[in-house]
Amino acid sequence: MSARRPVIVKAAEWTLSVETGEGAPQGIFSVLCIACGVESPAVDDDRLAVELSALQHTGSHPTHRQYQPKMLAFWRVDPAPGNPYHALKTVRGEGQ
């Protein structure tokens, strides 16, 4: 097993925010039944469908009453004013 390299943070300012680019969901939601492991389908931006899934599952299985909600969100990091990269135009999702 190789040793992990230390993380180096240089003295440049960055901002962390929620990804709001075109097509980016505010969240992807699902719920997992603790009793049996059944997971609802994942849904973009609509918690209600997932909440109804949990209620319907308990309706069919009255002893299944505990759930683990899951929410996946997307963040992005951008250069803040004063960062040398701030003046460069970046393309969302470019992966560099």
The tokens of 22 are what? 């075109």
Strand-pair partners of 15 = 78
For the segment 63-85, the average pLDDT, to the nearest whole number, is 91
Query: At 83, is the pLDDT very low, low, confident or very high (cuts 50, 70, 90)?
Result: confident
pLDDT in the model for residue 93: 52
pLDDT in the model for residue 96: 47
d(CA 31, CA 11): 40
- What is the four-CA torsion angle of 11, 92, 96, 9, rounded to 10 degrees? 20
Element (H, E) at 72: strand 67-72
Q: What is the three-class DSSP state of 49? A: helix
Give the model confidence (pLDDT) of 21-73 as tens digits: 899 998 999 999 999 999 999 999 999 999 999 999 999 999 999 999 999 99
Higher pLDDT, 34 or 90: 34
Any residues with CB less than 8 A from the CB of 7 and at least 6 apart, and which?
A: none
Please give the model's pTM, rounded to 2 decimal places.
0.68
Higher pLDDT, 49 or 89: 49
